[in-house]
Structure 1
Amino acid sequence: MTHGSTLAGFIRTAMRRWPDREALVGGGVRWTYAELGAEANRFARYFRNCGLKRGDAVALLSGNTSAVIAATQAVQILGLRYTPLHPMGSEDDHAFVIEDAGITTLMVDADAHAVRGRTLKARMGLKRVLTFGPSDFGDDLVAGAASFDGSDVPIEAQPEDITSLNYTGGTTGRPKGVVHRHRSTVAMMTQELAFWEWPQDVRFLVATPLSHAAGAMMTPTLVKGGTFVFLKGFDPAEYLATIARERITATFMVPTMLYALLDYPGIADADLSSLEMLIYGAAPASPARLEQAIKVFGPILCQLYGQSEAPQTISYLAKADHLIAGRLGSCGLPVPCNQVRLITPDGRDADQDEPGEICFRGPTIMEGYWSRPEESAAAFRDGWLRTGDIARRDADGYLHIVDRSKDMIITGGFNVYPREIEDCLAQHPAVAMCAVVGVPDDKWGEAVKAVVVLKSGAMVSGEELVTAVRTAKGVHYAPKIIEFVESLPHTAVGKLDRKAIRAMSWQGQERLVG
């Protein structure tokens, strides 16, 4: 088996090819490839000195830092099984993941997560807690690694090793661990390199958690000899200043970040001249806001579509596609090497423009859910991954996601997909953001409810918004309830938290439109 088929092999090749180039910028450091590689090797030696060996299970609770990046590369070198803990997760969720994944070693940011780290150590009886920085509940792995040699550590990872065990959000029931081996992760990275529209000189900026989609942008950036720039969190002013200062050529945003930038007063004066690629994804984006984004950023937008079970590269909407009428509501064409079917509830292939569940087959697919054979079998019916996303395929083969199957609203016997209503509402000039959910209703079974955030200083009546939807989509799509709010709940990675929105609605907090 060759090391070239592991993530560590790809990264090691980059370190050797461009030792003097700038590899990593953020958190006060500017590391060359040689310096990043040396840091990763020091962490790898420290981990081995702690007794960690290939296949051992480690978890991470931290934000975006340079030390975390080096440590996670060391994890790949040694072939450890890596599980990130959601930085915003609850104690119970963290405890569940640690137990379910069989975690023996927990790495914790001593500054940001000391209380949780101390609690989890006591609650879970963890064998080993390593902290980024000094603490009273674990060993300082930064100080420990600093004493070791930075020369290359032999790569122990093998292609069949589990590289990551990432847990889904758990919107229904307990989270599930998604198993990816090096083969599927390398396939994802290779598809990113081959089919995304990268700049010649890659200077990539991220501000979302590296434990999620943003982390998958790092290895391709390094393979292309680029510079990876990270922020600890998202602030519009800081983000725009970083683009200008670091001459950023590529970036990744979730839609809520994109909307925040579009609504930020300083966007008009921002220097965006270096940007050549703006990737967005991880949640649906409003076509109306995408039109606005193209006017602000230029024709540089491209969309990724994937999910934890088949990350990042199920399909891709290219820059040029964003300029074609009717394409902004699409998530693009399936990436070559992938197979996509749309299957109706009665098990047949959907006709053109008929909604069906996206079913996927390809090299990036997960192996299954950790220790959940029944749920794994349900996800893979007839050899196809059932994504739970409902889409239609247009005459040109482009996929248009209608909604998640579980988000579908049945009102008065009609199937209604919230995404279509949200896209309609987002076209109104007063609407900044919205979410549509189904709420219990004695007459309709479920009633369509829209929760709306208005743009600063804008005013519109609920009746006007209902009329706009009714005119565009028909009476059964028109919301029965409109609620205006100051903000919508989101997960830590920027997705609408529909579970929280539904919970509020089912408690009878809706406001009827007269």
Structure 2
Amino acid sequence: MSLIEYLGKGASLGVSAPCLTTGDSTLSYGDAQVMAFKVARALANSGVRPGEKVAILSVNDPIAFSCVFGISRAGAVWCPINLRNEAAENRDLLEFFDCACLIFQGRFSGLVEQIAAGLPAVKTLVCVDGPTPVGVTLDEWLVGVSGEPLSVAPLDDTMLIVGTGGTTGRPKGVVLTGRNVETMSPITLMSCPFAPRPVYLALAPLTHAAGVLCFPIMAMGGEIVILRTPDLSDFLAAVQTRKVTHTFLPPTLIYMLLSHHDLPDTDLSSLQCFWYGAAPMSAARLEEAMTRIGPVMAQLFGQSEAPMMISTMAPADHFDPDGSVAVRRLSSAGRPAPLVTVAIMDESGGLPAAGERGEIVIRSSLVMAGYYKNPEATAEVGKFGWHYTGGFNVYSAEVEQALMQHPDIADCAVIGLPDDKWGERVTAVLQLRPGAAVTSDEVRAFVKARVGSVKSPKQVEFWADLPRSKVGKVLKKDIKAQILGG
């Protein structure tokens, strides 16, 4: 099942139904299909062949997201580009992924102009929203192009390639297939409450988790409301006015939402499912969200290599049968998803007894085809016949959970820094609540009382604010670089 089939499924349930909405503008399923057909024909006219790569560099935008389905209809492969990347990193990714075409927004024309000369393989540059000093506009590109249905057989089952950051060296390209997305979509629909015609609000970038979640929504004929900028006032207003049923935010933005002055007066009664994920969430803040936002919080745990749904915790699983909060579960990652087998594995490939430590490994059709042009890394992550997820990273989350119970701490990040004695020392970087004051010794004692002295921070830093991505995720790599550089 290719990506275009999700749009087609939604259209089969009502071609005039709203599909992609932003502000006062809406594309119906029929509109989005015509756009996809035109983009597919324009790609073919530009010499893009089945199996070739087409990158999109854009903030959340209905037209840009419609182009994803045109890429699929042309039998090509979608390569979403991370907006946070520096120019050199984007140039390297476009070259590494062998991209033949780049579709971008005008706001990025300076970046595109900067890197285009070093990308001879990128023969077509298209700006979706106006004149640009480099490439052609979307309107120019589509002049005379028919919107009649088009069907081009893909080269194989590859649907998209996602760049994933590594701790060292060049980021890897995660090759995701139609089978992967076709596994993720029913997991989503089975694991969470859905009524007909859901309304999904996308504030986080559609290049990542928020975008992949659109496909099961489309399979239900639902509407996708797109916010161009990550503004929480607009987010709350959209939930109320658009009667949003489903949405997703990372924990840091949920923390900000809980402090937002508009929250108490916003009608959130339409919400059926409020997903959180991409980072561990404070159990204390989660319980607060369940009270102030509603009994709709739903966790998802996944990664680019196994998108979104390795394990899930549906809204109902946050409560015990008697209706009380299941406090003991709030720090967990839920239960294995219906189409995923999860185990814990030691370094020799054995499955240790219950209670023993190891790495989270999985088996599922959810698992990627591999890393693009990197068979060594593919083999390493798939040794012993299981997919390795990097589950040892949970240890920092355990310390962060303890820190977030402190009433004076607004947010935190726990990292490891080089240490002659310990190899790495636990380092906590804290952002305090306005007007709060706490000492390093008090922080250490607080954590020690909850998770023990070994995990208590050896170094405590107090920062006015923590560096965050455009969607509010704390950037630990930036924190570590600042400390080591300073």
TM range (shorter): over 0.9
Aligned to 1:334: 336
Aligned to 2:76: 80
Question: Which among 116, 124, 127 is matched to residue 111 of structure 2?
Answer: 116
Aligned to 2:322: none
Contact 1:8 1:155 in 2 (8 A): no
Question: Which among 194, 206, 210 is matched to residue 206 of structure 2?
Answer: 210
Q: How does 1:299-310 map to 2 (within 5 A)?
A: 299-310=295-306
Matched, 1:195 2:191: yes
Q: How does 1:53-452 map to 2 (within 5 A)?
A: 53-110=49-106, 112-125=107-120, 126-132=122-128, 133-145=130-142, 147-157=144-154, 160-323=156-319, 324-390=326-392, 403-404=393-394, 417-452=395-430
Contact 2:41 2:74 in 1 (8 A): no
Contact 2:104 2:126 in 1 (8 A): yes
Contact 2:48 2:100 in 1 (8 A): no
Q: In structure 1, how many angstroms separate the alpha carbons of the residues matched to 2:417 and 2:180?
A: 39
CA 1:172–1:197: 2 relative to 1, 3 Å: farther
Residue deviations 1:404-453, cap 9 Å, x none? 5xxxxxxxxxxxx2211110010111111101112233443332211011
Name the aligned partner's letter for residue 154 of structure 2: A
Name the aligned partner's letter for residue 36 of structure 2: A
Q: In structure 2, how many angstroms separate the alpha carbons of the residues matched to 1:36 and 1:427?
A: 46
Q: Report the CA distance between 1:139 and its aligned residue.
A: 1.3
Contact 2:4 2:69 in 1 (8 A): yes
Contact 1:134 1:140 in 2 (8 A): yes
Q: In structure 1, how many angstroms separate the alpha carbons of the residues matched to 2:44 and 2:258?
A: 47
CA 1:13–1:200: 2 relative to 1, 3 Å: closer
Matched, 1:501 2:479: yes
Aligned to 2:323: none
Q: Percent identity?
A: 34
Q: Report the CA distance between 1:326 and its aligned residue.
A: 0.8
Aligned to 1:44: 40
CA 1:65–1:296: 2 relative to 1, 3 Å: same
Q: Report the CA distance between 1:237 and its aligned residue.
A: 1.0
SS of equivalent residue, structure 1 residue 475: coil
By relative contact order (CA 8 Å, sep 6+), the higher-ranking structure is 2
SS of equivalent residue, structure 1 residue 437: strand
Contact 1:453 1:488 in 2 (8 A): yes
Q: Report the CA distance between 1:504 and its aligned residue.
A: 2.2
Q: In structure 1, how many angstroms separate the alpha carbons of the residues matched to 2:290 and 2:150?
A: 46
Q: Report the CA distance between 1:25 and its aligned residue.
A: 0.7
Q: In structure 2, how many angstroms separate the alpha carbons of the residues matched to 1:183 and 1:146?
A: 35
Matched, 1:481 2:477: no
Q: Report the CA distance between 1:146 and its aligned residue.
A: 5.7
Q: Report the CA distance between 1:232 and its aligned residue.
A: 1.1
Q: Report the CA distance between 1:147 and its aligned residue.
A: 4.0
Contact 1:59 1:98 in 2 (8 A): yes
SS of equivalent residue, structure 2 residue 328: coil
Name the aligned partner's letter for residue 387 of structure 1: T
Contact 2:193 2:272 in 1 (8 A): no
Residue deviations 1:23-79, cap 9 Å, x none? 111154212211221222222222222222211211111111111011111111111
Stretch of structure 1 that moved more, 303-312 or 467-476:
467-476
CA 1:442–1:49: 2 relative to 1, 3 Å: closer
Q: Report the CA distance between 1:342 and its aligned residue.
A: 0.4
SS of equivalent residue, structure 1 residue 124: coil
SS of equivalent residue, structure 2 residue 142: helix
Q: In structure 2, how many angstroms separate the alpha carbons of the residues matched to 1:506 and 1:333?
A: 38
Name the aligned partner's letter for residue 329 of structure 1: S
Name the aligned partner's letter for residue 255 of structure 2: Y
Residue deviations 1:96-128, cap 9 Å, x none? 111111112111112x10101111211223322
Gaps of 5+ in 1: 391-402, 405-416, 510-514
Q: How many residues align?
A: 478
CA 1:27–1:68: 2 relative to 1, 3 Å: farther
CA 1:303–1:141: 2 relative to 1, 3 Å: same
Contact 1:199 1:277 in 2 (8 A): no
Stretch of structure 1 that moved more, 449-458 or 149-158:
149-158
Q: In structure 2, how many angstroms separate the alpha carbons of the residues matched to 1:505 and 1:144?
A: 48
Name the aligned partner's letter for residue 137 of structure 2: D
Name the aligned partner's letter for residue 57 of structure 1: K
Stretch of structure 1 that moved more, 329-338 or 192-201:
192-201
Q: Report the CA distance between 1:150 and its aligned residue.
A: 2.5
SS of equivalent residue, structure 1 residue 326: helix
Gaps of 5+ in 2: 320-325
Q: Report the CA distance between 1:346 and its aligned residue.
A: 4.4
Name the aligned partner's letter for residue 332 of structure 2: S
Q: In structure 1, how many angstroms separate the alpha carbons of the residues matched to 2:144 and 2:200?
A: 31
Aligned to 1:465: 443
CA RMSD of superposed structures (Å): 1.8
Q: Report the CA distance between 1:155 and its aligned residue.
A: 4.9
Q: In structure 2, how many angstroms separate the alpha carbons of the residues matched to 1:83 and 1:6?
A: 15
Name the aligned partner's letter for residue 342 of structure 2: V
Q: Report the CA distance between 1:10 and its aligned residue.
A: 3.0
Q: In structure 2, how many angstroms separate the alpha carbons of the residues matched to 1:449 and 1:77?
A: 49
Q: In structure 2, how many angstroms separate the alpha carbons of the residues matched to 1:184 and 1:481?
A: 42
